[in-house]
Structure 1
Amino acid sequence: MRILALTNLFPTAWDPLRASFNRQQFDRLAEFHELDVMVAVDFRDRLRGPRGEAPALRHARASDFTFWYPPRIGRGLHGLAWYASLVSQRRSMLRDGRYDLLLASWAYPDAVGTARLARRLGLPYVVKVHGSDLNVQADQPSHRPQIAAALRGARAVVAVSDALAGKARALGVEPGRVHLLYNGVDGERFRPGDRTAARQALALSPDAPLVLYVGNLKQSKGCLDLLEAFPAVLARQPDACLAFVGAGAAAATLSRRAQQLGIADRVMLAGARPHEQLALWMQAANLLSLPSHNEGVPNVVLEAMACGLPVVATAVGGIPEVLPGQAGILVPAHDRAALGQALGEALGRDWSREAILEHAAGFRWDDNVRRLDRILVDAARPTNA
């Protein structure tokens, strides 16, 4: 088939580290089908200029368009603005592409705009939902009816967690058209490694217990909760360290607050790192912590387990579905006291790496893409077939 994937969740020169999970999945899917990826680039990012180079693709083809929209006000019009931006800039590609299927990855405005495009082109479409597109945006009165209509009009809705699948059904999607499909992990890259060698490569202390956070530095990801909980860890293990790998608006706040707490010498802000370097950080760490306030199923949790690393995370979204007791500890969101206690407990526990790896083996990109292929092929069949 010829498939056009439409999404903001994909690496570009304006955000080279964005959504590596979609890059991995779509590039593998392109081994089965001709796949073009059309990426929406926020006009503010476009005006700021490129920040690097997008990772190379082996099979898929990627291009982009500028998403122009009214900021602050008119958010209920973003689906229409997304569609108008795409059509005005990529009219010939859409007309001449001879696509069999559209695949939208993110509910708003991407899926809403894709639904309009599908009607214009007379094509079936599939929507993939990820987390806050349903957990947050679908609760906004101006967005909810549009998201619900876009999902109901799709031939299939692919949810990365069972919790999200339930939200899609609650929006009126027929249960038979909702598919649960957990993301996968690149097992060649994310695997156990020698901790001493990894720490030498990263110039880290060879012996200090290391708690690792990987992700965007923003409040909804719980990075500030993690910092506030860390003094409780230091009370039990004074030589412990906390490393934040990522970038975002909360970076300055984290640095300032670490100084105020008197723990700046135990906290490292390592900045954003390419996806291929994350495995080395996980191999160097004692545990990963992701205390998000809402989630789908974050790939960083799956990748950490594939490295044999235990995880302390919040019981939100699909995280409880993929993080069993033998692989980590769950705590309530926003509960910094519980988080600090869990971190201390996790650092002191003798985890079975073999048990963690056995569980993590269930999340593989090969299996994921084969299932996605079947969903898309079924969705593209004529309805009277």
Structure 2
Amino acid sequence: MKVLVLTNLFPTPWDPLRGAFNRQQFERLGRRHALDVLTAVDFRERLRGRRGEVQVPGLGIDHFVFVYPPRLGRALHAACWLLSLLLQRGRRLRAAGYDCILASWAYPDAVAAGWLARLLGIPYVVKVHGSDLNVQATHVLRRPQIGASLRAATAVVAVSRALATKAVALGVDASRVHTLYNGVDGKRFAPGDQAAARARLGLQDATGPLLLYVGNLKESKGCLDLLEAFAVMAAAQPQARLVYVGEGACRGALMARARALGIEARVRLAGAMPHESLPDWFRAADLLCLPSHNEGVPNVVLEAMACGTPVVATRVGGIPEVVPAHAGRLVPLGNRAALAGALTEASAQAWDHAAIAEHARGFSWEANIDQLDAILQQAARAGAGAEVLR
């Protein structure tokens, strides 16, 4: 098949670390089919300049600049997205002869992709990830657009059962909604020696519990909640330390609050890291902490467990579907006291790291790609059949 992928969740020269899960999935799918990935780059990000280069073997990679009036209501972003795409790449798309489109992210990407698919006369499949339904679909003017896009798609792929249920609630026939958990690269993410990992990362002086956060530093990911909970834990465990791996708008607020709480020396903001460097961070940590406010199924949770590292996270989205009791502790959203208690208890617990890693091995990219491949082929066949009937 010849497949066009439309998404904002993929590495670009302006954000080389973005969408690592999609990069892994699309690279593997590209070994089976001709895959072109066309990534939307926000015009404001484009103006900030390149931060690296992106090369993914076997994929056709391109981007277009998503332009919109900054103060315009977000309900019109899908129209702006499609217009940006057609003005910059329309002629090439019409001549390419794609069999189907895979849109990865519901709004504005999938809404615009649905309109494009109708212009090109080909089927499309939508993949939903988390806040594209958990947040975007709660807005009164965006929800109808998202619902119409999902209902018109040949199939909807959800990364958790919780998201699949939300797609059905938007009117999608349940028979066309598929739950497909992301995979883990078992060769890269595997248990290893903790002391050696800490030495490689310059953490060899860590003698107490080492807590790790990996992700965007933004409030909805719970990074500020974690800091407050850690302060409570740290009062009872003077050797405990917390490391944030990632960048984002909350970086300054985190450091200011750490100073105010008197724990600045015990909190490290390591910055964003390449995906290939993450295994050592997971191996070095005693716990991965992710108190998100909403989620699909975050790949960092799967990858941490693949390294044998237990998880403390909020009971939101698809997280309860993938974190069993023997692999971590889950707490209610917004309950910082419960989070502090879970961190304290989990850091003192004797975990079966081999059992945690064995559980995570059930999330393989091979099984993921087999299922996604079958869904896309079925969509392409349905599209070919419809063309014959016309």
Give ranges in structure 1 of 5+ residues lacking alignment. none
Q: How does 1:40-119 map to 2 (within 5 A)?
A: 40-54=40-54, 56-119=55-118
Q: How does 1:273-312 map to 2 (within 5 A)?
A: 273-312=273-312
Which residue type is aligned with residue 41 of structure 2? V
Cα offsets for 1:39-95 (capped at 9, x unmatched) = 0000000111112222x2122121000000122332111011100000100022201
Which residue type is aligned with residue 137 of structure 1? Q
Deviation (angstroms), 1:185: 0.5
Deviation (angstroms), 1:224: 0.1
Indicate if the aligned counterparts of 1:76 and 1:142 stay in contact, CA closer than 8 A. Answer: yes
Deviation (angstroms), 1:96: 1.5
Q: How does 1:155-174 map to 2 (within 5 A)?
A: 155-174=154-173
With normalisation by structure 1, the TM-score equals 0.98
Following the alignment from structure 2 to structure 1, what is the Cα–Cα distance between the partners of residues 359 and 25?
21
Which residue type is aligned with residue 364 of structure 2? R
Is structure 2 residue 359 aligned with structure 1 residue 378?
no
Indicate if the aligned counterparts of 2:2 and 2:99 stay in contact, CA closer than 8 A. Answer: yes
User: 2:61 aligns to what SS in structure 1?
Assistant: strand
Indicate if the aligned counterparts of 2:206 and 2:241 stay in contact, CA closer than 8 A. Answer: no
Indicate if the aligned counterparts of 2:127 and 2:156 stay in contact, CA closer than 8 A. Answer: yes
Indicate if the aligned counterparts of 1:102 and 1:114 stay in contact, CA closer than 8 A. Answer: yes
Hey, what does 2:364 align to over in structure 1? 364
Hey, what does 1:3 align to over in structure 2? 3
Which residue type is aligned with residue 152 of structure 1? R
Deviation (angstroms), 1:126: 0.2
Following the alignment from structure 2 to structure 1, what is the Cα–Cα distance between the partners of residues 67 and 74?
12
Q: How does 1:244-323 map to 2 (within 5 A)?
A: 244-323=244-323
Hey, what does 1:150 align to over in structure 2? 149
Cα offsets for 1:74-132 (capped at 9, x unmatched) = 21110111000001000222011110000000000000000110010000000000000
Following the alignment from structure 2 to structure 1, what is the Cα–Cα distance between the partners of residues 361 and 352?
15
Following the alignment from structure 1 to structure 2, what is the Cα–Cα distance between the partners of residues 295 and 53?
29
Deviation (angstroms), 1:162: 0.2
User: 2:102 aligns to what SS in structure 1?
Assistant: strand
Deviation (angstroms), 1:235: 2.4
Hey, what does 2:211 align to over in structure 1? 211
Hey, what does 1:202 align to over in structure 2? 201
User: 1:90 aligns to what SS in structure 2?
Assistant: helix
Give ranges in structure 2 of 5+ residues lacking alignment. none
Cα offsets for 1:279-329 (capped at 9, x unmatched) = 110111101000000000000000000000000000000000000100000
Please say which of residues 353-362 and 27-36 is displaced more in the overlay: 353-362
Indicate if the aligned counterparts of 1:196 and 1:206 stay in contact, CA closer than 8 A. Answer: no
Following the alignment from structure 1 to structure 2, what is the Cα–Cα distance between the partners of residues 18 and 2?
24
Which residue type is aligned with residue 122 of structure 1? G
User: 1:382 aligns to what SS in structure 2?
Assistant: helix
Hey, what does 2:36 align to over in structure 1? 36
Deviation (angstroms), 1:229: 0.5
Aligned-pair identity in percent equals: 63
Following the alignment from structure 2 to structure 1, what is the Cα–Cα distance between the partners of residues 342 and 210?
14
User: 2:346 aligns to what SS in structure 1?
Assistant: helix
Deviation (angstroms), 1:206: 4.4
Following the alignment from structure 1 to structure 2, what is the Cα–Cα distance between the partners of residues 337 and 230?
10
Following the alignment from structure 2 to structure 1, what is the Cα–Cα distance between the partners of residues 108 and 382?
27
